Structure 1
């Protein structure tokens, strides 16, 4: 099966500093693929380059192919229109607007494109996140951290993306809420959307992912099925916080 996303030999520079060195990865249809690694390794930089959202002083070379099309020269808006969606680390909700209005805004691109069924994902989102249904009239700024992350995910799904990219969805959340968020990410398979997950919480990420990549100082140093990575002694020692297994 052809991949939804294929990144080949991607180099990313911020002025004179190269932050990512020759990274390559693939995301298949309906897959959850995770990129794990320490803080500052280049995970979010990689995601922003895929989305075409590098800052003005950043540049990228290599190939980003989405649904078989080279994304070179296509701006963020064009990538969104093709079905790519990024949930950034800061979530970027409209705090003074209601939960439901935030969700409706997620479907704005579909409405503008003339899709008369642009709100058809509302019930799907509310089924995934029952708490959002309960708080539909509540201002987004009054939600808890976990609820804000649910809303950010739900708003992204309203666009009916083919590729959903999540940047550190567990950041700043209590352990109980982290488990709930990752349970929901696991359920995203039911929607058919492919998911690229950037995450420092390697244990949780590898539990839900089908395939994983390990990035260190801007280089992909390991890759394989998530279950295999979770059992690898180096990953266990470095990222899962466990003692080295006996030889």
Structure 2
């Protein structure tokens, strides 16, 4: 498979610290690529640089063209979407209004296209259809994650980048979120998944990278990484969901989801 996103020797300084140092990474078309590593390894910084939120050195290619100098909006228009760790929803707006904002830049395409995109999101996340009139700030943690992903999908991205989608969620909700991620691959959306929950990420991804201290320390097919002794000892002995305080409805010690 050819690369949709290609990072070459990407380096990012964040708050005066070299958070990402010479990272090279490839996300092929139609694949799920996971990036695992401990908290502070540089995973989120890498995604923010790929999206254009943070300045970076090195080369960023998307669909064979350099995008290093493009703005966040221009990268979004090319087909890249990022669901941030904090989910960044508009808490005082209903679910459906939050989703509509994900389609804002495509408003010239008309109501029919917007309605079709909305129905696709509701098909993926039936719970959002049930909650469509509910304020985003009153949703459970799992529902807020679904809403953040749904809003990103309203823009019809070719590459969806997910930053810690399982963070703070109960195991039942994590399984549902990851099931939906797999279904997105089947619909032709490429996925770049950053996760501390290494076990869950490697189980659904095609290829994986281990990021340590801002550098890629190991990479390979996800199945091979799961069998690697060092990866198993360091990252697979526990899952992030085991530390969550939520119940099976996805409610618990989660961020408030406000923009």
TM-score, structure 2 as length reference:
0.88
Q: What SS is found at the alignment partner of 1:119?
A: helix
TM-superposed CA distance for 1:113, in Å, is: 6.2
TM-superposed CA distance for 1:8, in Å, is: 0.5
The question of whether the paired residues in 2 share the 8 Å contact of 1:104 and 1:119 is answered with no
Find out whether 1:17 has 2:10 as its counterpart: no
Structure 1: any 5+ residue segments left out of the alignment?
Answer: 243-247
Q: Who is 2:28 aligned against?
A: 28
Distance 2:229 2:181 in 1: 26
- From 191, 194, 206, the equivalent of 2:190 is 194
TM-superposed CA distance for 1:81, in Å, is: 1.1
- From 159, 162, 167, the equivalent of 1:166 is 162
TM-superposed CA distance for 1:75, in Å, is: 0.9
TM-superposed CA distance for 1:126, in Å, is: 1.0
Cα 1:220–1:53, aligned 2, differ >3 Å: closer, same or farther? same
Distance 2:50 2:6 in 1: 10
Q: How many residues align?
A: 238
Q: Who is 1:234 aligned against?
A: 230
Q: Who is 2:175 aligned against?
A: 179
Q: Who is 1:66 aligned against?
A: 62
Q: Who is 2:50 aligned against?
A: 50
Distance 2:47 2:177 in 1: 20
TM-score, structure 1 as length reference:
0.92
* Cα offsets for 1:88-121 (capped at 9, x unmatched): 0010111111111111111111114668613322
Find out whether 1:209 has 2:205 as its counterpart: yes
Distance 1:214 1:112 in 2: 41
Q: Who is 2:147 aligned against?
A: 151
RMSD: 1.5
